[in-house]
Amino acid sequence: MLLLVTSSLICLYIGFRLGKHKKLNSNSYIQNEAELEVIKELKKLDKNKYYVMNDITLPTEEGTTQIDHIVFSENGIFVIETKGHKGWIFGKENDRNWTQYLKGGRKFSFHSPIIQNRNHIKNIINITNIPEHTLKTIVVFTNDKMEFKTSLPKHVLKINQLIQYIEEWNLSILNHSKMLETIGLIEFKRKEKSDETNKEHIEYINKRLSPKRKMKNN
């Protein structure tokens, strides 16, 4: 038991130091407004119970995945996908794409944030071997001019519902040493927050969504 706790603390320390170093070298990086709103909201959580990471880019077998926020606690690990869309939002849990309607009849399609977050969770499991039941998915919309027009799961929220939703999970499902180990592993694996990392991720997404690649996947 002592060995397990010690190894978890070592993993956390190494990961935290590397993560801190990466953050110190990210002066030019700018996050979008929606993510900044969520960062501000997450500061309301009790720091003695929750550990928050923001803008985490992790390596995958094919490229990278970018996670907006992760909140760690003994009550679960909350993986948050943030959206700043306004207007009417239509989408179902298993729809591949959702639709945004704006004034004037304009409409836009965007990739389902629920499916995005499923992929994020799979990648976290691959890196940490954390049990899937400890990971909780959240999709949060920050724009007060947004309105859901279809029935959605309870984990799709407006920003003013976020803190209450996280705090409602009040049963311990993750022991403290495993939580520390998971934090350390993700801090260790995450890429430096920088314009270069962001560019690399965008290039990977564009490559993945190219017509040639789409045809290959069909």
Residue-wise pLDDT tens for the chain (218 aa)? Answer: 544 445 445 555 455 545 544 444 443 344 589 999 999 999 999 999 999 999 999 988 888 899 999 999 999 999 999 999 999 999 999 999 999 999 888 999 999 999 999 999 999 999 999 999 999 999 999 999 999 999 989 999 999 999 999 999 999 999 999 999 999 999 999 987 645 545 554 554 455 444 444 433 32
Sequence letter at residue 187: E
- CA-nearest of 51, 72, 79 to 174 is 72
DSSP-derived 3-state class of residue 108:
strand
Overall pTM > 0.75: yes
User: What pLDDT is attached to residue 215?
Assistant: 31
Report residue 183 as tokens. 């934090």
CA 108 to the chain's CA centroid: 23
Nearest CA-CA partner of 187 in 30, 48, 23, 5? 23
Q: Can you tell me the distance from the alpha carbon of 69 to that of 113, in angstroms, rounded to the nearest whole number?
A: 13
